[in-house]
Amino acid sequence: MELKKVKNRRVVVTGLGVASSVGIGKEDFWESIVNGRSGISKVTSFDTSDMRCHYAGEIKDYSPEDFIPKRKVKFLGRTSQLAISSTYLALKDAGIDTSKIKNKRTGVFIGTTMGEKPLAESINVWIKEGFEKVSRMKIMQSAANNIPANIAMFFKLQGPNYLIPTACAAGNYAIGYGFDFIKRGDLDYAIVGGADAFSELAFIGFHRIYAMSPDKCRPFDKNRKGMMVGEGAGILLLESLESALQRNATIYAEIAGYGLSCDAFHMTASDPEGMSKAILKALEYTQTSREEVDYINAHGTGTQGNDKNECAAIKKVFK
């Protein structure tokens, strides 16, 4: 039975997929979280002996062949591998037949910070060994837009396909985009989330601007020393409430709305004014009072500046 195209549908989350340094799949991930297991370990991807930081959230027990045919793995960058694996897990969790979803109106909306890892690898080879040594396969894997495109090709999805490169906020933006499409009735399903492979460039970059902690991340702690770099993918399946009820699907949450802002303040430093505007817009959009909010999922980078400004923004809204 086809769902009617209604322009104000309620949007729910019915599938969860994750690949992280604390677990592959929602069960392992959640068990690690509730038991306080850390996914931070000594970096093995490259030599950090000349740096002051040596730890990160690398995934040690991930095998893409568990989710992707071996013949296809070689054509995919690691970020795409993580994204496809997490999408598979989300669809499976939602009870969606992966062979039939291609017949539905399904969009893919993925956020990322660094894009695909092979781009940086190719640049390194070019600099150290010359252009002729750059792998053609790595060039094919390098474009950042490959991430959502590879998900769509793997599952044969022909709906809207978006890559959102807004760094730390990218995954949330992707959820917002998918939410809009489902709410308007333009899609049956939306695959949304974020993905990033462990990046030497990101590690060195954050290390260079003294934003990284040498041991662990301590958000909002007076002794905080910075963030930790890691890798992983987190994917949600969104659909309308009507669709979920028809399928008798497990509903994890309803997305009521969101708020966006751009403070146009500084490339790396945050501004409490911009953050508070985003919170206020979300409250206004969803017609939620301040008193109704009982949980805040903060950015919490563990850096001196961001944690201070984030606290100021939250206090400004919920004073």
pLDDT of residue 91 exceeding 50, the answer is: yes
In sequence order, which ranges of 7-57 are alpha helices (DSSP H)?
A: 26-34
114 closest CA partner among 180, 166, 68, 67? 166
Q: Which amino acid is at 29?
A: F
- Give the Cα separation of 248 and 243 in Å (integer): 9
**Cα 54 → chain centroid:** 24
Which two structure tokens, joined as six digits, stand for 229?
């770099």
- Give the Cα separation of 270 and 272 in Å (integer): 7
- Give the Cα separation of 67 and 12 in Å (integer): 26
Phi, psi of 312 (to 5 degrees): -65, -40
Percent of the chain with pLDDT over 70: 96
> What does the pLDDT average to over 233-246?
98
Containing 22, the helix (H) or strand (E) segment is none
Write down the pTM of the prediction.
Answer: 0.92
> What does the pLDDT average to over 157-176?
95
Task: Name the pLDDT band for 1 (thresholds 50, 70, 90).
Answer: very low
pLDDT of residue 3 exceeding 70, the answer is: no
Percent of the chain with pLDDT over 90: 80
For the stretch 14-58, pLDDT in tens is 999 999 999 999 999 999 999 999 999 999 999 999 999 999 999
Return the top range by mean pLDDT from 166-170, 229-233, 264-268: 229-233
Looking at residue 38, its pLDDT comes to 95
Looking at residue 232, its pLDDT comes to 97
Lowest mean pLDDT among 107-116, 130-139, 161-170, 218-227: 130-139
Looking at residue 118, its pLDDT comes to 64
Phi, psi of 109 (to 5 degrees): -135, 110
68 closest CA partner among 81, 52, 54, 57? 81
- Give the Cα separation of 256 and 117 in Å (integer): 34
103 burial level (CB within 10 Å; 0-12, 13-18, 19+): exposed
Which two structure tokens, joined as six digits, stand for 35?
């038991």
What structural domains and CATH numbers belong to the chain? 11-255 (3.40.47.10), 258-319 (3.40.47.10)
pLDDT of residue 177 exceeding 90, the answer is: yes
